[in-house]
Chains A and B, each alone.
Chain A
Amino acid sequence: MSEEVKSYVELKNINKYYGDYHASRNVSFGIEKGKLVALLGPSGSGKTTILRMIAGLENPDDGEIIIDGQVVNDIHASKRGIGFVFQNYALFRYMTVYENIAFGLRVQKWDNAKIDARVKELVSLIGLDGLDKRYPSQLSGGQRQRVAFARALAPNPHLLLLDEPFAAIDAKVRQELRSWLKSMIEKLGITSIFVTHDQDEAVEVADEIIITNQGRVEQKGTPVEIYRDPQTSFTAQFFGQTFFVENYHDFKSFDTVEGTTNAILRPEFLKLTKKNEEKKYTVTIAEGIVQSVDFRGSNFEITVKYKDNIFIAKRTLDEPPVEVGEEVDIFVYRLLVLDGDKVHLLKNRALNEESVVI
C-alpha cells in the first residue's frame, strides 16, 4: 500500500493472453522482501498464470516484472533465482529423494561433497532422514510435498513460488503441513508467494493476501485489512462467510448510501438474542424466525429468516439454546453495502449514540 516501502517483487501493468482469452488484466502489485504472500482467488481467476509469469515459465504480453530492482522479462527462468513448487509437485519419478533434491545442484555443477552436504542438510530439515533412497511413489502426499519444497530450496533461491501447495493433500495432514510450511519459511526468511483458492489457508498462512478475480487483482492487504475493509464487492463476498441482503433499509438506524439497496452480512456482524434475554440496543431490534440450528463443535450456527433475508448468526454453547421456529431478536452491528463494484462499510448508528451517552 505505502509507496515508500521498496518492493522486492513487483508486477507493473501485466497483461497476458492465451489466444483470445485475457488471462491477466492489468495486474500490478508489489511484495516486500521476506514476506509470505498468498494469491487467493477462485479457480480460473489467473493465479497460476501470474505465478508462472513471475517464474519465467510464461511470458507476459505486456508490462514489466521486476525482481530485486531488475526487470526480468527477458531473463530466462533458470537465471531468476527462483524456487518453484508445482501444483502436483512434479517430482522426478525415476529419481530418488536424494537425486531429486540434488538435481538443481548438479545442473549448476556444484562439487559432489557440497552437493552431498546440502542434500543431507535439506533432508533432515524436512524431517525425512533415512528416506533419501526412496522414490517419490514410495512416499505419502505430505512427504512428497516436503521433498518438492526441499528441491526448490536446494540452490538457495531468493524467491520461492508455490502453486496450490496443499491441494493434493488430505485434510488431516493439510493442517499440520500448513503450520510446518509457514514456520519453515519464517525460519528461512525467504520471500514467498503461494497460490490457493482456499481462504482459510490464505488467512492462516499468509502475511499478506492478494485477491484475484477474472484475471484482475481485486485487493491486496493483510488478512485483517481485507476482512475489515473489503474494497470491492467481489472481495466482500469472497472473503469470510457472507450472506446477501436484498434491501438493507429493512434494518433500522443505518445511514443510506445514495442509490444502493444490496448489502452483505457476516455472522460476526450480528447479535442474536432470545426474547427474554437482556439487550443493549432495544430500539433497533429486528425480529426473525429461527430456521435451523446446527452444532459446529465450538458454537451453534443459527439460520434465521428476517423478511425475505436468510442469514446465519452464531451463539456460544453457554448462551441459552434457541429452537427452530422460535422468534428471536436480531441486532446488526455492521453492514457491507454494495455500490456497483465498490463497497461501503456502514456501522449501526446506535453504536455511536450509545458510546456518546457513556
Chain B
Amino acid sequence: MTEKNESKYVKYLLITISVIFLFFFLVLPLFVVVTEAFKKGVDQYLQAVTDEYTVKAALLTIEATFFAVFINTIFGVFAAWSITKFRFKGKKILTTLIDLPVTVSPIIAGLIYVLTFGRQSILYPLLEKYDIKVVFAVPGIVLATIFVTFPFVSRELIPVLESQGTDEEEAAALMGANGRTIFWKVTFPHIKWAFLYGVVLCATRAMGEFGAVSVLSGHLRGKTNTLPLHVEILFNEFQYMPAFAVSSVLVVMAIILLIIRSVIEYKGKKEEE
C-alpha cells in the first residue's frame, strides 16, 4: 500500500517539476516575447514586421533554409542509402564524418569557412579572379547553414534503412528492376515519414541558425542579415519592441514547423500499425 502511494508521490513530484521547469524556461519567455512585441499596439507591431530590412532578412533566411534543406536532403538520402545498402571500406569513417557538424561548435564552423574562403586563404586569389564572394556575402551564409544542418536528414534515414535490411531491394533487383524503380517503389515507402521528419528538423534548425552565420555574415543590413542576426542588431540598438516583434515571427515559423513535425510523427506511427 505505502509503496504504491510512494510511487504516486514520485509521479506527481516529477510531473510538477517538469511543468514548473517548462513554465519558467519556455512558456514565460515566449509570453514575454509576444507581450513585448505588441506593447505599443498592433500598428507598431505590423510596422516593425513589415520594415524593409526585416522583410529582406526574412527572405534571406528563407533562401538559406531552402538551399540547406535541398542540398542536405539530396546528400542525406545518398549518404544514408550508400551507408546502409552497400558494403565498403571506410564506412565507419563516413558515418562519423557525417555527424561531425553537430559536434563542432557553430562558431568554429563559421571560422572554418572564413579561413577556407577568406583573404588568408590560398583559394582567395582564385575566388577573386572569378569575382566570387563567399565570406561576408550570401554564399557564405548558405554554406554555413548547410554545414550546421548537414546530418539532419541522413541521421533520420539511417536507422530506418538499417532495420529494413536489403532483402526487398535484392528481390526487386533480381526481378530486373532498375535503381530508380527500386528506390521509388521499394525503398522510399519505407523511409517516407522519417524522410519528411528529417526535412522538417533540418528546416527548423536552418531557420534559427545564428553562430556560424554570424561569423560569415558581416552583418550588412539588407544584404547579409538573416532574421536571427537582424534580431540581434535591433536588440543591440535598444530597439526592444521591434526586436521582439521580429522574434515573434521566428517563433511563429518554428511553431508551424513543430505542428507539421507532430503531424508527420503521428501519421508515421499510425501507418506502422
A interface residues with partner B (beta carbon < 8 Å):
55-57, 77-79, 82, 84, 86, 88, 90-95, 103-104, 107-108, 151, 155
Contact = CB atoms under 8 A, between A and B. Distances in A.
Nearest to B170: A57
A82 B181 CA distance: 20
A103 B172 contact: yes
28 contacts: A55-B174, A56-B174, A57-B170, A57-B174, A77-B173, A77-B174, A78-B173, A78-B175, A78-B176, A79-B176, A84-B174, A86-B167, A86-B170, A90-B168, A90-B170, A91-B168, A92-B171, A92-B186, A93-B168, A94-B186, A95-B185, A103-B172, A103-B185, A104-B176, A107-B176, A107-B177, A107-B181, A155-B175
- Which of B171, B173, B181 counts the most A-chain CB atoms under 10 A from its CB? B171
Interface in B173-217: 173-177, 181, 185-186, 189-190
A150 to B, nearest CB: 13
A237 B98 CA distance: 52
A94 B185 CA distance: 9
A137 B190 CA distance: 14
Given A86-B170, A103-B177, A107-B176, 7 more contacts: A86-B167, A88-B167, A90-B168, A91-B168, A93-B168, A103-B172, A103-B185
Contacts of B190: 93-94
B120 to A, nearest CB: 45
Contacts of B173: 77-78
Interface residues of B, number: 15
Contact residues of B: prevailing secondary structure: helix
B243 to A, nearest CB: 48
Contacts of A56: 174
A86 B174 CA distance: 11
Given A86-B167, A88-B167, A107-B181, A94 B174 contact: no
Contact of A84 (B168, B171, B177, B189): B171
A82 B189 CA distance: 26
A86 B171 contact: yes
B164 to A, nearest CB: 8
A252 B167 CA distance: 56
Contacts of A84: 171, 174
B175 A107 contact: yes
Contact residues of A: prevailing secondary structure: loop
A138 B167 CA distance: 19
Interface in B147-172: 167-168, 170-172
A283 to B, nearest CB: 61
A103 B175 contact: yes
Contacts of A104: 175-176
Contacts of A86: 167, 170-171
Q: Which 10 A-B pairs have the closest CB atoms?
A: A78-B176, A90-B167, A94-B189, A104-B175, A90-B171, A107-B177, A107-B176, A77-B174, A90-B168, A86-B167
A238 B47 CA distance: 86
A155 B181 CA distance: 18
Given A92-B186, A107-B181, A82 B167 contact: no
A78 B174 contact: yes
Contacts of B189: 93-94
A176 to B, nearest CB: 25
Contacts of A79: 176
Contacts of A82: 174
A155 B172 CA distance: 13
A94 B190 CA distance: 8
Given A86-B167, A107-B181, A92 B174 contact: no
Nearest to A148: B171
A131 B176 CA distance: 26
Contacts of B172: 92, 103, 107
A104 B185 CA distance: 12
A77 B177 CA distance: 11
B133 to A, nearest CB: 47
Nearest to B166: A90
B119 to A, nearest CB: 49
Contacts of B174: 55-57, 77-78, 82, 84
Nearest to B164: A93
B270 to A, nearest CB: 14
A88 B167 CA distance: 9
Nearest to A77: B174
Contacts of B168: 90-93
Contacts of B186: 92, 94
Nearest to B272: A137
Contacts of A108: 175-176
Contacts of A155: 175
Nearest to B171: A90
A7 B167 CA distance: 29
Contacts of A151: 171
Nearest to A155: B175
A37 B168 CA distance: 25
Contacts of A77: 173-174
B118 to A, nearest CB: 46
A134 to B, nearest CB: 15
B92 to A, nearest CB: 15
A305 B164 CA distance: 52
Interface in B112-165: none
Nearest to B273: A137
A55 B174 CA distance: 8
A128 B39 CA distance: 69
B175 to A, nearest CB: 4
Nearest to B189: A94
B171 to A, nearest CB: 4
